[in-house]
Each structure stands twice: as C-alpha cells, then as structure tokens.
Amino acid sequence: MIESGSKILSAIIWFPFIGALILMLLPKTVAKFAKPMALGVSLVTLLGAFQLVQTFKAGTFHFQFGERFDWMPALGISYSVGLDGMSLWMFALTALLGVFAVLVGDSKVERPASFFALILALETTMLGVFAALDLVLFYTFFELSLAPVALLILGWGSQGSEVEARKKASIRYFAALFAGSILMLVGIVLLSQLQLQASGKLSFHLLDIQASVANGTLWAKAMGLQAPIFWAFALAFLVKSPGVPFHSWLTSTYRHAPIAALVGGVVIKLGTYGLFRFCLPLFPDVIGTAVPTLMLIGAVGIIYGGIVAAGQQGANKLMAFATVSHVGFVVVGLFSLTSNGVAGAAFQQFNLGLVGAATFVLLSFLYQRKGTQDLSSFGALKRQMPYFATLFLLVMLANVGLPGTSGFVGEFLALMGAFQASVEGINGLQVGVAAIAGFGVVLSAVYMLYMFQKLFYGKAEEGSEPIKDLTAGELVTGGILVGLLIVFGIAPGRVQRDMDVSLQATRLMAINAVNERPIWAELDHEITSGENALAPGSLVILEDRAIATVGARQVDGSLISAPKLHPTQKDLERAVEQNELQATSEGADSTQ
C-alpha cells in the first residue's frame, strides 16, 4: 500500500466535522454564535471545494486529488479518497448546499449548538460519500450520514407535531435506509473476497476491484454471484434514491420541514450517485439483463410519483412525490446505457440537488411564517408576497423542466437516451417505456401548476392574517439559489464537460467486452498540473465520437493522441503535443 497525494481533499471533508466538535464543546453562553460559526465553517468548506473545481483537470476519467493510506491493513481496508469529474461536482454541490442548510436554519431553535453541529457533521459524511474510493470507507460514510438526519428529525422535526410522531419518523428514516443497505455490506465483503481470489491480495479499494472487473478476472470464477451482488447494491441505492416502491420513508421525512431542504437537496443524491459509481462499472455481465427492470422502476417512478403528487394537499408531501418522479428520470437515463442518457442522468442528478434545495428553502420560508404546509390554508400570496412569488415561479419552472432552467438539460438528455435505447431495442427495451416516461413532463406541469395556483392565486383563507414578504436576507438566500438554477440552465457546459469523460468511461465499463473496458487510475495531481496534464491511459474522444485511451494503438497502427472534441481545453492541447513526443520517443512501450 502506498501513501500518496496532498491532503487537501481530506482537509475539506473533515473540516465541517471539526467545526461540529468545536460547536459541541462550546459553553452554553455563546450558543447565540452557533449559527455564524457554523456559517463560517461551511463557507470555508465551500471555498475549498471551489478550489478543487478550479484545479480539476477535465479530459480524463481518472481520479484526482487522490489520497490513500492503510487503515486496517490486515483486512485490506484503506482510507482512500479521490474525485473524478462526476463526483467532483456532486462534492462541490454538497459544499454549496451545506452553506444554505446553515443559512436557512433558524438561529432561535432550542439547543442551537447541537442543531448546527449536526448539520455540519452531516456535511462531512456526505462529502465523504462522494469522495470515498474504498468500499468500506464508502459504506461507513453512507451509514453515518443517516445518524445526523435521524437526530435532526427527532430533535427539531416539525414544530407542531408530537414528539411521538417525530420519533416514529426518525426511526422510520433510520431503519428503512439501514435495512436497505445492510445487504450492500454483504455485497461489499463478497466483492473483496472475489478480489482476493482474482489478484491474491485482499482489497476493498474501488480501483483495485474495478481493474479486476475490467480484465475479467474478478467474475471469472463466480459468475453466479454477479447478479445477487449487483442487486444488493442496486437495492440499497434504490431505497435511498428513492425508487418506487421504496419511497415511503421520504414522505414522512419531508413532513419535517426544518431539514427537508438538506435532505431534498443532497442526501437522496447519495442513492443515485451509488448507482453511477458502483452498479454501472462493476457488473458488466449482468447489467444488460437488469436494465429492463431498472428502466421500468424508473418509468413507473416518474409516472406514479407525478400522479400521486397531483393528489396531495401538503406542500412538502407534494414535493416528496415530485422528487420520486424526478429521480425516475435519473434512473431511466442512467440505465439506458447510452451516451446521451448517462450524460443527462448525471446532470439531472446535479440539478435535482439544486432544485430540491431551492424548492425546500422557499417552502421553509413559508412554513416559518404560517406553521403549516397545508396548501388549502394558503391563497392569494402573489398579492401579499410579490418577491416570494417571483422566486417561487422560477423554482416551479425549474421543477417543470422548462428550457433555460437547469431542470431541462438533464431531463431532456436522459429521455433522449432512454428513447434511443428503446427504439433500437437495446437489452430488450420497449419504445413504450420511454414514451410513457416522457409523459412525466406533462404530469410535472400538472402538479406544480396546481401547487402554484393554490399558493398564489385565488383568495386567502377567511380571517387569516396577511403574510409578510421575504426579508432582505431571505431574498438574497433564495435569490442566489434560484439564480443558480438559471445559470446552470443557460450555461451547463462547464459541469457537463468536467463530468463527461468520467461518465463515458463508466458507461464503457458497463457495455464493453473484457479488455476493452477502461481502467480507473489515480492521476497524480502534482504532475498533472504541470506540462504532462494528459497522461497515457487517459481517455480521449476520437472524431467519430468513439472513446479511446491515450497511447493505445488504433486499428491502422497509428497512436491515439489527440482529443479532437475538446478544443476549449488549452491544457489538453499542450498535453497532447507532449504525449506525441513521448509516444514517438518511447515507441511501442508507450501503451503503458
């Protein structure tokens, strides 16, 4: 085992946790500073994440900012973290939404220090999930993220409700997700055993395991295990996502408004992220047969979530089912296994974080004013709260997936991918599935417009007091989130370019034959930030949009060197020249 890498990634992951510890240790007299302190911590974390985004090298699918040292060497467990294009943006999103989770947290809650400490602790666990490269480390973060949410529901769940009700919701949340992922633990252990068989070395490291999958040794003697382990992973992530019919925990969680923003924003993206990170690259021999089922789960989720959302009376419950519907697009795009579908699913996952956070932050403003989420007790808010109405209109449009908002890009590409796969009948898919899934865009208009009308039009409830419009602080908070929805709707290119090569490589891991599957590696960032930015082994895109590995030989014998479709990346061009020189000087050995 090697130790490598700068410690910047770990520093960012653990910084909120250290902040949380300090908050807990502070005397009660300074509790009123809990919120500003927590805000400071989350802002520093965000700055760190922003730094990562700035220094990240696009154009390769390898992991960057990697760190790896032995944790329990006897068991093959290591502390390994690193980011590729896809996890980078989920990581950054988590850091961003951490700030907003603190911002909208009410500083007048009971025990503010604990409240904000839990939010910061949650942030660390989620950052950890997106960065973890060791399966045990991943599982640890994945499960640990349950605790802060469960405790937040229990201690600070919706103010009006009984302790008993909060307790029930808290336990349901914890138990449902814990039960859902326990099988995954078995799967993880089995994978490490197979890895031991294949390579003679016990390891839980994702990169080691994936390499064995890619060269075919991992599953060679255990084909029969592949399907059960796949489903163990898929089940855990589908419960978390949530896919129908595993969604019931979500509605009871969302009823508890104070933390809904955070849960709606990021927590559930851990589920779809898991599908990307593990289900796609590690099970190439069974994924094809699982695709029809998974696509069905996605399509049913879109339609079922949409229909049930339209029948809801509570704003948060409505949004819970809307989330179920939105997540369906991710699943459908992802398991189309087409280039467009996967790209769309990844962007939709990113977008859902933003849009979910924005929606629930705005709803929490409403909840703080009126103490209820029942749509029938609102009305005519447009007159009373014109600024709030404008922000909510934009959030509604992003939920509906209107072009120009970030909601459109992912949905559109995911559906396109699903449609392509089903028209071509890949993996026995039916056209109907994609066409029906597409009808989700009609349903989203139905339930969102219904909610908008209930809140803002018509008449206010008899005898109800007028509601005040947003304060300046709330306007800025909501305005930034809503602004981001527009920014990423008009200019999604940066996120897409960073993510793309990672996504396509992951997709090829799923669909290519043995020895044609890309193999993950860690990119030494100390070197990549210099001249040799694109190391041999990196992924490039050829003119016919096939993907190949730098340094490998093409059919006609020429060396693959030039990424033709990334003209915007100056680094890349320089690196390619470098590569050509290197390739000619090293001759045939350059494939290494």
The piece of 36-44, 259-267, 348-356, 399-407 that touches another protein (CB under 8 A) is 399-407
111 binds another protein (CB under 8 A): no
Find the shortest distance in angstroms from Cβ 49 to another protein. 22
Residue among 1 and 307 whose Cβ is closer to another protein: 307
DSSP 426: G
The piece of 60-68, 287-295, 356-364, 417-425 that touches another protein (CB under 8 A) is 417-425
Written as one string, the DSSP assignment of 97-116 is HHHHHHHHS-TTSSSHHHHH
Contact 206, 214 (CB under 8 A): no
Contact 558, 516 (CB under 8 A): no
Q: Give residues 147-166 in contact with another protein (rule: CB under 8 A).
A: 147, 150-151, 154
32 binds another protein (CB under 8 A): no
Find the shortest distance in angstroms from Cβ 401 to another protein. 9
Residue among 46 and 209 whose Cβ is closer to another protein: 209
110 binds another protein (CB under 8 A): no
Residue among 11 and 442 whose Cβ is closer to another protein: 442
Written as one string, the DSSP assignment of 131-161 is HB-BHHHHHHHHHHTHHHHHHHHHHHS-TTS
SS3 522: strand
Neighbouring CB atoms inside 10 A of 490's CB total: 13
The 526-545 contact track toward another protein, x by CB under 8 A, reads ---------------x-xxx
449 binds another protein (CB under 8 A): yes
547 binds another protein (CB under 8 A): yes
Alpha helices in 492-569 (DSSP H): 493-511, 525-528
Q: Give residues 168-207 in contact with another protein (rule: CB under 8 A).
A: 168, 170-172, 174-176, 178-180, 182, 185-186, 189, 192-193, 196-197, 202
Contact 499, 61 (CB under 8 A): no
441 binds another protein (CB under 8 A): yes
56 phi and psi angles, rounded to 5 deg: -65, 140
* Longest CA–CA separation in the chain, Å: 84
Contact 90, 353 (CB under 8 A): yes
Q: Give residues 36-95 in contact with another protein (rule: CB under 8 A).
A: 74-75, 77
506 binds another protein (CB under 8 A): no
Residue among 292 and 404 whose Cβ is closer to another protein: 404
Q: Which residue from 438, 478, 536, 537 is in contact with another protein, where contact means CB under 8 A? A: 438
Residue among 400 and 533 whose Cβ is closer to another protein: 400
501 binds another protein (CB under 8 A): yes
Number of residues that bind another protein (CB under 8 A): 92
Helices (H) and strands (E) in the chain, counts: 26, 4
Phi/psi region, residue 520 (left: phi>0; alpha: psi -120 to 50; beta: rest), is beta
The piece of 369-377, 408-416, 525-533, 554-562 that touches another protein (CB under 8 A) is 408-416
DSSP 374: B
Find tokens 């962007």 and name the residue: 347
Find the shortest distance in angstroms from Cβ 225 to another protein. 14
Residue among 169 and 583 whose Cβ is closer to another protein: 169
SS3 540: strand
SS3 57: coil
User: Measured between alpha carbons, how far is residue 248 from residues 165, 252, 255, 324, 406 in Å?
Assistant: 15, 7, 12, 10, 27
Find the shortest distance in angstroms from Cβ 171 to another protein. 4
Strand spans (E) along 132-237: none
Neighbouring-strand partners of residue 77? 72
Q: Give residues 291-320 in contact with another protein (rule: CB under 8 A).
A: 304, 307-312
383 binds another protein (CB under 8 A): yes
**Distance (Å, whole) CA 15 – CA 209:** 29
Find the shortest distance in angstroms from Cβ 24 to another protein. 14
Q: Which residue from 446, 486, 487, 548 is in contact with another protein, where contact means CB under 8 A? A: 446
**Distance (Å, whole) CA 309 – CA 173:** 20
Q: Which residue from 78, 338, 348, 561 is in contact with another protein, where contact means CB under 8 A? A: 338
588 binds another protein (CB under 8 A): no
